[in-house]
């Protein structure tokens, strides 16, 4: 509960370095952060940090004692004279109840997104689920067809331009000059850019139309269900006619690469033990995001069922995706292409999310309130930083943690204080605070096997990540929030059986695996 008294401002004067600073008492801000701000603001030498910290701590202690003595004396005097301001006390309690308790908070109109989320959550847990998934699947096939057409047109243009350029180069000694070739290059670039912009615009328009139509249909479906319990049949002009034909299934011609996996149940905690499911598997990280597309089927894949049911719940799934220090760069290009294969009905599209995150990051990196360990001249993200995107159109995850990494992870000398390892700790903390109960982590902090990743290298890296994550999970008990029920460690696809077996044998030694006791 908040204290009934207000704060009082005191002026801290430092005669040695000639500056003043106002400090509110009681002081709730960390002293070390205040010292760092003063050093930066007044351009003080870094070696005064210890002396300045001690001086400010002494000042805060003396002024706090003075302040509380004044407050106590005033309360005692008012009590002796029977002076009680009931109106002020009542207003203070009223404000506290409004701020701390939702039932007493000020009522406000729900936004369109909140209304849609409520309607979707109601309908997805009703018999309308199958109809909703079928409509989403039809929308997705339309977008995929449009995307394939876009790729085909761009490829045809590129091949045609390459043919023209080769002919021009062959005629360089005859009727073609370098200036004409430069003009041809410029014309090709302009034509290619215009076509790509046109196709992107058509695709974005289609997605926005699908998003608007789907939301309107869902609200109509909820309204009719509440009145006469009948569901409207989706009849959308934004789906291709061929998908309305009777479906038939075909066998896959390409066999999937075998996936190595092993599951364990563990108990962690210093006093009250918590049960967790841990799984280690090999595979491509994009397999957790890509929704399988059978062009001959009109039925949605089962992958989307669990994603839809848990979308507006306290049981979300997350994935740690390694990225570089520039938001939306080539490292995340493959992931962006996966997101663009279908319409995002619930959250902003991936491009809009990344643009907003980039703008916020640039404002933060250019500000004067950055962490002391960060390079003051850098406007790029650093290893261990991460940003979050939300999704409803991926196969097995709702939340993506894009964590910045660098080439130092290829070495063999990283430890528990490495910035990326500490970034994992912050990700686990964020997951617990936001109802993410399932999380997938790259065990080796790499996605592909390389030459330097020997058996000893893999074992050392896995042991480091296992031990650090175990410590973070034990620490989670004091963080509050949701428990991390399911934890997946993913290793690169193509890892040898010998290395994988070594890692699976290591996990039970580091974590406490639950084994049944058999009584004779």
pLDDT digits (tens, 9 = 90+) for 217-266: 998 888 887 776 555 555 554 554 333 333 333 333 334 555 688 888 88
pLDDT at 205 over 80: yes
Lowest mean pLDDT across 107-111, 226-230, 244-248, 355-359: 244-248
Is residue 518 one of the residues assigned to a domain? no
Is residue 468 one of the residues assigned to a domain? yes
CB-count burial class (<10 Å; 0-12, 13-18, 19+) for 503: buried
Lowest mean pLDDT across 320-334, 382-396, 402-416, 417-431: 320-334
Residues 410 and 490 in one domain: yes
Helices (H), 327-437: 333-339, 350-366, 419-433
Is residue 438 one of the residues assigned to a domain? yes
Residues 140 and 266 in one domain: no
Beta bridge partners of 25: 8
What are the pLDDT digits (tens) for 440-460? 999 999 888 888 888 999 999
pLDDT at 146 over 50: yes
Is residue 220 one of the residues assigned to a domain? yes
Residues 314 and 457 in one domain: yes
Confidence of residue 300 (pLDDT cuts 50, 70, 90): low
Tokens 């006791």 belong to which residue?
517
pLDDT at 4 over 80: no
The overall average pLDDT reported for the chain is 81
pLDDT at 371 over 60: no
Residues 206 and 349 in one domain: no
What is the structure's pLDDT at 307?
A: 86
pLDDT: which is higher, 512 or 90: 90
In this structure, what is the dihedral angle of CA atoms 464, 466, 468, 471, given to the nearest 10 degrees?
A: -150
What is the structure's pLDDT at 236?
A: 52
What is the structure's pLDDT at 195?
A: 92
Residues 285 and 400 in one domain: yes
How far lies 389's CA from each of 318, 404, 447, in Å? 10, 14, 20
Residues 266 and 400 in one domain: yes
Gap between the Cα atoms of 513 and 267, Å rounded: 7
Question: pTM of this prediction?
Answer: 0.72
Q: Could you give the percent of the chain with pLDDT greater than 70? A: 84
Q: How far apart are the first and last CA of the chain?
A: 55
What is the structure's pLDDT at 255?
A: 43
Mean of pLDDT values over 310-328: 89
What is the structure's pLDDT at 198?
A: 93
Residues 328 and 208 in one domain: no
pLDDT at 194 over 90: yes
Is residue 168 one of the residues assigned to a domain? yes
Confidence of residue 404 (pLDDT cuts 50, 70, 90): very high
Gap between the Cα atoms of 308 and 129, Å rounded: 9
Lowest mean pLDDT across 134-138, 172-176, 225-229, 359-363: 225-229
Gap between the Cα atoms of 209 and 381, Å rounded: 35
What is the structure's pLDDT at 254?
A: 36
Residues 169 and 78 in one domain: no
pLDDT: which is higher, 404 or 374: 404
What are the pLDDT digits (tens) for 20-72? 888 888 887 788 888 888 888 888 888 888 888 888 888 888 888 888 888 88
Residues 265 and 236 in one domain: no
Gap between the Cα atoms of 381 and 325, Å rounded: 5
List of residues 6+ apart from 368 with CB closer than 8 A? 40, 41
Confidence of residue 107 (pLDDT cuts 50, 70, 90): low
Q: Tokens for 332?
A: 């995340």
pLDDT: which is higher, 299 or 233: 299
Last residue of a domain, one of 104, 138, 163: 104
Residues 392 and 332 in one domain: yes
Last residue of a domain, one of 84, 104, 124: 104
Lowest mean pLDDT across 11-15, 98-102, 299-303, 467-471: 299-303
What is the structure's pLDDT at 100?
A: 76
What is the structure's pLDDT at 275?
A: 82
Residues 59 and 196 in one domain: no
Is residue 251 one of the residues assigned to a domain? no
Is residue 515 one of the residues assigned to a domain? no
As for how many domains the chain has, the answer is: 3
Last residue of a domain, one of 56, 80, 104: 104
Is residue 517 one of the residues assigned to a domain? no
Residues 24 and 125 in one domain: no
Beta bridge partners of 281: 261, 490
Confidence of residue 212 (pLDDT cuts 50, 70, 90): very high
Nearest to 289 by CA among 440, 505, 118: 440
Range of the domain at 130: 115-244
């Amino acid at each position: 509960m908040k204290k009934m008294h207000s704060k009082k401002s005191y002026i801290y004067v430092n005669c040695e370095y000639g500056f003043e600073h106002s400090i509110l008492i009681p002081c709730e801000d960390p002293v070390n952060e205040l010292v760092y701000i003063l050093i930066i603001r007044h351009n003080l030498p870094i070696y005064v940090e210890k002396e300045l910290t001690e001086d400010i701590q002494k000042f805060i202690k003396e002024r706090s004692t003075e302040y509380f003595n004044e407050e106590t004396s005033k309360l005692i005097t008012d009590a002796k004279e029977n002076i009680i301001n009931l109106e002020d006390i009542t207003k203070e309690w009223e404000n506290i109840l409004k701020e701390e308790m939702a039932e007493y908070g000020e009522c406000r109109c729900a936004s369109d997104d909140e209304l849609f989320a409520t309607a979707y959550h109601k309908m997805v847990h009703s018999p309308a689920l199958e109809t909703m998934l079928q409509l989403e699947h039809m929308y997705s096939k339309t977008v995929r067809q449009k995307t394939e057409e876009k790729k085909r047109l761009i490829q045809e243009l590129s091949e045609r331009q390459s043919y023209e350029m080769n002919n021009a180069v062959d005629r360089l000694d005859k009727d073609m000059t370098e200036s004409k070739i430069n003009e041809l290059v410029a014309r090709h670039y302009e034509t290619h850019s215009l076509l790509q912009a046109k196709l992107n615009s058509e695709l974005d328009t289609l997605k926005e139309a699908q998003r608007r139509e789907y939301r309107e249909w869902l609200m109509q479906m909820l309204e009719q269900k509440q009145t006469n319990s009948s569901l409207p049949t989706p009849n959308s002009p934004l789906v291709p006619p061929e998908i309305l034909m009777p479906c038939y299934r075909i066998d896959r011609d390409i066999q999937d690469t075998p996936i190595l996996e092993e599951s364990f149940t563990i108990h962690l905690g210093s006093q009250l033990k918590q049960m967790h499911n841990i799984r280690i598997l090999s595979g491509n990280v994009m397999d957790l995001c890509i929704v399988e597309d059978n062009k001959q089927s009109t039925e949605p894949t089962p992958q989307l069922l669990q994603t839809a049911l848990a979308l507006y719940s306290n049981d979300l799934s997350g994935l740690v995706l390694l990225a570089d220090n520039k938001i939306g760069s080539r490292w995340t290009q493959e992931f962006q292409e996966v997101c663009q294969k279908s319409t995002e009905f619930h959250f902003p599209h991936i491009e809009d999310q990344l643009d907003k995150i980039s703008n916020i990051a640039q404002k933060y990196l250019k500000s004067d309130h950055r962490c002391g360990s960060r390079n003051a001249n850098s406007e790029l993200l650093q290893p261990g930083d991460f940003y979050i995107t939300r999704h409803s159109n991926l196969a097995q995850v709702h939340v993506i943690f894009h964590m910045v990494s660098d080439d130092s992870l290829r070495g063999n000398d990283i430890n528990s204080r490495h910035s990326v390892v500490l970034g994992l700790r912050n990700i686990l903390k964020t997951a617990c605070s936001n109802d993410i109960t399932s999380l997938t982590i790259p065990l080796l902090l790499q996605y592909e096997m390389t030459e330097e990743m020997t058996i000893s290298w893999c074992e050392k890296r896995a042991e480091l990540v296992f031990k650090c994550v175990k410590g973070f999970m034990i620490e989670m008990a004091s963080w509050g929030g949701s428990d991390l029920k399911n934890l997946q460690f993913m290793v690169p696809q193509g890892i040898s059986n010998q290395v994988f077996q070594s890692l699976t044998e290591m996990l039970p030694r580091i974590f406490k695996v639950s084994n049944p006791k058999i009584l004779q």
